[in-house]
Amino acid sequence: EYSSIFELETKKSSIHRIGIIQVLLVPQENFVFTISFDQYLKAFDTQFSNEFFSLKNPNKVIYTSIYWDDQVLYISDELGYVGVLNVYMDKPFIWKRLVTEPIKKIEIVSDPRHLILLTDYEIRAYKIRKGEKSHDMSGHKDSILKIITLEPEGLG
């Protein structure tokens, strides 16, 4: 005689209005993230079975890729924008256009840390820098009124 150890329960509720593009599992945080053709990013807590975060794309296009890295969610879209989101605070740190074509996939590689963007025509890598950098500058005899830089990397 066979007896089941597990009980499976089916829920009939829909996560998104239309098809899901990507599902991202984050087991260490008990999170599941989804992006869909309905232009929404949604986050679910698997421990309590509830949606705790939802973000409609401000560009009114579909999100194309999501990636979790060290308590930060990276997200891209069809217009070449990348967002860096704090899902605990319900707001983006950054929302910036990095390319002028749809981003197919985003990923983080380590040592040194880079954000990798894959499009139809190229792969781009952006160095990730967290926090602020400072550098002693000399050469002025009085107070510095303004600092203008064209390349932020030049200061550190």
β-strand partners of 118: 105, 123
pLDDT at 156: 41
10-residue mean pLDDT profile of the chain (156 residues): values are 59 71 92 93 88 91 94 94 85 86 93 89 86 54 56 44
Domain holding 71, by residue range, is: 20-98
CA distance 149 to 156: 12
The CATH number that applies at residue 38 is: 2.40.10.480
| Number of domains within the chain | 1
CA distance 10 to 147: 60
**Residue 155 domain-assigned (yes or no):** no
Q: Go through 94-125 and write b for each residue having 16 or more CB atoms within 10 A of its CB, e for each that does not.
A: ebeebbeebbeebeeeeeeeebebbbeeeeee
**Residue 1 domain-assigned (yes or no):** no
**Residue 120 domain-assigned (yes or no):** no
pLDDT at 151: 47
